[in-house]
Structure 1
């Protein structure tokens, strides 16, 4: 008589987080090995997913199922069905498909007393699968509720700390809170001031890297990282839960921790750096390669001059209107020569003057109004959710609209003022890169044009260049007949 071959078993064990509790990996494996010994199975492999949620894809569970499908194992044994999966009927369907392909194969859920050889096993397994899925959802809800309670009460719920803050013991009770980290907070305040004063986020990030000031990760700053910090709700002492800002009873964002920036500065940053809802996010404009790109124009037709290389290392600013079929004599000027000339004339005229920046100061009601507008939009959107508490949301919306009306009537126009930087134009110029210098020229030069050159003149004919300062300055700048600089009233 032919001896029946010994069934080969693969044991699969799983735990969401490894510990010494009764459902530990070691306990599951020991119980399954005892079952294998009683049944006379030959354990060919033990596969474990340790620290992996049953609601997520599990590489070793997939491998165990493959072994059963490919005939490398005859039995797939798990401690309980919820150790196999908490993904519901979808995971069960994949298991049934394999067992249908191999009718001789066996699935065992030891502690549930479930075996695929039982007549009604699919019905029982379906119930166990849905119970496991529901328990996963309930656990997730409890965890999220706990995190929300911590955050709303002002306690730190863990996770990645926002830049500018560190975790500290809660002085008013159990748990921990976030407190301002002075060095990082000063980086945020400096960056915010500079961006509001007209510098680009890229230029500020570049300067932080040059000064070897690390980002939160300890790496170099990028424009994206700095932009995220400056526009985050965190620097106003706010926290988010499931992607939404935690709000008070009135629907307005709750200030959980001490803010790093004042609300007015933060709203001005957001207005500068974040597109309005529904507005297309425009791609970043490529940085111009030369000092006068976007600043210098053709005196004949008023069109911008563009940078063009002849392929032999000579770069010029040229008017492309003639080439495009427009009426223009075709202005062209050597880029290096005109840049050197403009720099010299500009600094001779205003180099010793102090640089001033234009600053707008909004009233407190204007900053509050922005918060209320945002709360109105988000409350309105929440009304469309399937599980929305309509009565509560409508009451909140009515209150917010009433407050918005009051703030609109009280809002005043922003105050505009020129604020001295304490640095001269020459100092600012020497400290800046090409982009910063271009920004300085663009903000302070009303006219910079070049006319068509004369035949037989070598070098830069300074009479071709007209340079006039912005009206805010009492004097304009233009070349004299000899090619030097002179002041124009």
Structure 2
């Protein structure tokens, strides 16, 4: 290569240039080595016609042809970002470095086609120097086969990095502005919603999808009632609810992803700087640091959504696992059965398992066991509670200023974490200012009188009626849980037992002990007396 560069700089005598000179010069011209080059092209988005792969390659070929260079190979990376992918991580660039072809230069269209960061550009340059080659940029008239060209290219690479950072900041600011105004900025539309023309301006906004939003409401209702995601998956398949893709059947991860999306509370998922393409827990903040909420999109309050997410996070029961991973025993009484052996200071929980091949419960501390007793518990439950009212569950909902307090506390917790993590002084000062404003806002809202509204999360009917309508062990377990605190097991004699003997070993701790037993029908005299009083 060195010889080729020296020959290219030879100034020939005038007679040779005129073509009328005799001697060895004609031989020198014929034996002069032709410079060999490789072409590299890259683009992030294939639809960018102004810098398309074909246009880059065409410009490089014209550049080589004008100088009489031989193109030894063409390498390209289509649809690859230079900001997020180093040259050595791209298939096209790796193929260029691994090529067995000899070349003196690599022609690129512009420096930013190779790298957007100075450090990446320098690494690529070093890799080529090891092959005794340099970079040549068509649009910027840079030839890095010389020291002067290398210096100029490094300066331009610094400006390319600055330009990429500036573009990124402008795009991020514009995206945040559009999100705060309720505009859709691309990406996958959440299940149960659709993109519609903005009625108040340009662009598009989200709205409920009338064909799917009711499925989402039911998913939320079932989850808040304590039903497992797997039972909801089965329900969706039974109802033939359309999946997000319109193909296949429902799966656990899809339902959980829908339930965890903040759009259910009218909030927008927002994770600036997130490069792993996985949605985090952050939501779009307003100017005061609190989430921006679009009430028209919400199907539940922020507090309800966060409580539901916590409920999902805390699920570690057998019912939350796939059927294939569950123990082959019934979970109907799981969490309700306690060991009452005298050796314990107080009853301890018994664990579900098999006892001599029979489903049952055992105490890990004293080894007491009991099996084949679920039917006895159910019979006693229906006898004592079947005709009694299963009261609806009532939830307190804060309204007015008090409704903001949980969100303020949540953001303050986030700020505490961010303050401990950041090493940037300006960012720390900004976070402290936001923290101070939120503390003032919390004091203001706490001074307001809270408005509390009670909302029933379930209808009211008899325990026995609910039991008949229940279809799964999970639903029946919820009904038993509304009637019982626990069932304590005492030791009995070994051997087979009758149902009466099993019942004698059990002590039921009812939640409303004064509301037990079958309701006795009134006598004719009582009915007549009530009629007179009415």
TM range (shorter): 0.7 to 0.9
| Residues 247 and 450 of structure 1: CA distance in aligned 2, closer, same or farther (over 3 Å) | closer
Could you tell me which residue of structure 2 aligns to residue 367 of structure 1?
Answer: 403
Could you tell me which residue of structure 2 aligns to residue 487 of structure 1?
Answer: none
Could you tell me which residue of structure 2 aligns to residue 481 of structure 1?
Answer: none
Return the match for 2:459 from 408, 415, 421: 421
- Per the normalisation by structure 1, the TM-score is 0.80
Cα contact 1:238–1:255 (8 A) shared by 2: yes
Cα contact 2:388–2:516 (8 A) shared by 1: no
Which residues in structure 2 correspond to 1:89-488 (within 5 Å)? 89-99=119-129, 101-103=130-132, 105-218=133-246, 220-243=249-272, 244-256=282-294, 258-263=296-301, 266-274=302-310, 284-287=316-319, 289-290=329-330, 291-301=332-342, 302-309=347-354, 313-323=357-367, 330=368, 332-334=369-371, 337-364=372-399, 365-378=401-414, 386=424, 388=426, 397-410=435-448, 412=450, 421-422=459-460, 424-429=462-467, 430-455=469-494, 457-460=496-499, 461-466=501-506, 468=508, 470-472=510-512, 474-476=514-516
SS at structure 1 position matched to 2:286: coil
Could you tell me which residue of structure 1 aligns to residue 68 of structure 2?
Answer: 40
| Residues 254 and 437 of structure 1: CA distance in aligned 2, closer, same or farther (over 3 Å) | same
Deviation at 1:220, TM superposition (A): 4.8
Deviation at 1:141, TM superposition (A): 1.7
- Tell me whether 8-17 or 418-427 shows the greater mean CA deviation: 418-427
Deviation at 1:441, TM superposition (A): 1.7
CA distance in 1: counterparts of 2:164 and 2:475, whole angstroms: 55
| Residues 404 and 275 of structure 1: CA distance in aligned 2, closer, same or farther (over 3 Å) | farther
CA distance in 1: counterparts of 2:260 and 2:352, whole angstroms: 35
CA distance in 1: counterparts of 2:445 and 2:157, whole angstroms: 54
CA distance in 1: counterparts of 2:495 and 2:284, whole angstroms: 72
CA distance in 1: counterparts of 2:358 and 2:428, whole angstroms: 69
Aligned residues: 458
| Residues 170 and 136 of structure 1: CA distance in aligned 2, closer, same or farther (over 3 Å) | same
Query: Is residue 2:83 matched to residue 1:55?
Result: yes
SS at structure 1 position matched to 2:241: coil
- Per the normalisation by structure 2, the TM-score is 0.74
Deviation at 1:118, TM superposition (A): 1.8
CA distance in 1: counterparts of 2:488 and 2:406, whole angstroms: 42
Deviation at 1:33, TM superposition (A): 1.4
CA distance in 2: counterparts of 1:56 and 1:247, whole angstroms: 26
Cα contact 1:9–1:76 (8 A) shared by 2: yes
CA distance in 2: counterparts of 1:239 and 1:170, whole angstroms: 17
| Residues 133 and 395 of structure 1: CA distance in aligned 2, closer, same or farther (over 3 Å) | closer
| Residues 34 and 418 of structure 1: CA distance in aligned 2, closer, same or farther (over 3 Å) | closer
Deviation at 1:167, TM superposition (A): 0.4
CA distance in 1: counterparts of 2:224 and 2:40, whole angstroms: 58
Task: String of CA shifts for 1:417-452, please: whole Å, max 9, x gaps.
Answer: 877525543453353322332232233123423333
Deviation at 1:177, TM superposition (A): 0.9
Deviation at 1:169, TM superposition (A): 0.6
Cα contact 2:44–2:82 (8 A) shared by 1: yes
| Residues 223 and 270 of structure 1: CA distance in aligned 2, closer, same or farther (over 3 Å) | farther
| Residues 269 and 444 of structure 1: CA distance in aligned 2, closer, same or farther (over 3 Å) | farther
Deviation at 1:148, TM superposition (A): 1.6
Could you tell me which residue of structure 2 aligns to residue 84 of structure 1?
Answer: 114
| Residues 455 and 399 of structure 1: CA distance in aligned 2, closer, same or farther (over 3 Å) | closer
CA distance in 2: counterparts of 1:80 and 1:33, whole angstroms: 14
CA distance in 2: counterparts of 1:360 and 1:149, whole angstroms: 36
CA distance in 1: counterparts of 2:204 and 2:374, whole angstroms: 57
Gaps in structure 1 of 5+ consecutive residues: 324-329, 479-489
RMSD value over aligned CA atoms?
Answer: 3.5
CA distance in 2: counterparts of 1:473 and 1:419, whole angstroms: 23
Deviation at 1:126, TM superposition (A): 1.0
CA distance in 1: counterparts of 2:310 and 2:40, whole angstroms: 49
- Tell me whether 121-130 or 227-236 shows the greater mean CA deviation: 227-236
| Residues 456 and 167 of structure 1: CA distance in aligned 2, closer, same or farther (over 3 Å) | closer
Cα contact 2:388–2:515 (8 A) shared by 1: no
Cα contact 1:236–1:258 (8 A) shared by 2: no
CA distance in 2: counterparts of 1:343 and 1:184, whole angstroms: 38
Deviation at 1:382, TM superposition (A): 6.6
| Residues 419 and 349 of structure 1: CA distance in aligned 2, closer, same or farther (over 3 Å) | farther
CA distance in 2: counterparts of 1:417 and 1:237, whole angstroms: 20
SS at structure 2 position matched to 1:178: strand
Deviation at 1:206, TM superposition (A): 4.2
Cα contact 2:385–2:516 (8 A) shared by 1: no
